[in-house]
Amino acid sequence: MSQFTSNKPYLFRAIYEWLIDNDAIPYILVDALIENTQVPEAFIKDDQIVLNISPEAVFNWHCDNHAISFNARFSGVSHQLFVPMDALMAVYDKTTGMGMAFPESYEQSSDQDDELDISIDDLESEASVSNEKVSKNKGSHLKVIK
């Protein structure tokens, strides 16, 4: 069974666009301790930082499946920021709280992979048993009209 890539970058971009389309101001919550994260240290609180990422607040915006990078001003000083997707904890509108928090990243062990592995045959046999139960328990709601 092939491994899926992380859905976090796709969900982030969708929520970001949705917030912009609804005239909200998107903010991100970032774990500043994640390797390669580059944010202004003076603004980190409890190992996290909240960043306004609205188009008016940032320039040189780049977002791909691995990271978000942009320039922004803090106390009048321009900073280049780099946020790996692993460091992204949430994207939301500060006023309404609408948005999405992301679960912490984790590696699945091979035991978990075995538990999650299910074949198409298993699904089909479960579906046929389920369909048999439904057809035995309930008559058709359709009537033949001539």
pLDDT tens digit string along 105-124?
644 334 444 444 555 555 55
Per DSSP, helices labelled H in 66-119 are 110-116
| CB contact at 8 A, 39 and 83 | yes
Q: Which of 42, 17, 33 is nearest to 83 (CA)?
A: 33
Q: What SS3 class is residue 77?
A: strand
Domain count, the chain: 1
CATH of the domain at 17: 2.30.30.220
Strand arrangement, sheet containing 67-74: 58-63, 67-74, 77-84
> Would you state the pLDDT for residue 12?
97
Residue 3 lies in a domain: no
Q: What is the predicted pLDDT for the residue at 127?
A: 53
Higher pLDDT, 103 or 108: 103
Q: Is the residue at 123 inside a domain?
A: no
Q: Are 105 and 86 in contact (CB under 8 A)?
A: yes
Tell me the pTM: 0.71
What local confidence, expressed as pLDDT, does residue 113 receive?
46
- Residue 97 belongs to what domain range? 8-107
Whether 14 shows a pLDDT value over 90: the answer reads yes
Higher pLDDT: 120 or 87? It is: 87
- Residues, the chain, total? 146
- Segment 26-37, tens digit of pLDDT: 999 999 999 999
User: What pLDDT, on the 0 to 100 scale, is given for residue 116?
Assistant: 46
Query: Do the domain assignments include residue 81?
Result: yes
Residue 131: the pLDDT is: 47
Q: Please, which pLDDT band fits residue 104 given cuts at 50, 70 and 90?
A: confident
Residue 132 has pLDDT above 60, yes or no: no
Confidence at residue 44, expressed as pLDDT on a 0 to 100 scale = 96
Q: Contact at 8 Å (CB) between 61 and 16?
A: no
Specify if 135 maps to a domain: no
Burial class (CB in 10 A: 0-12, 13-18, 19+), 16: buried
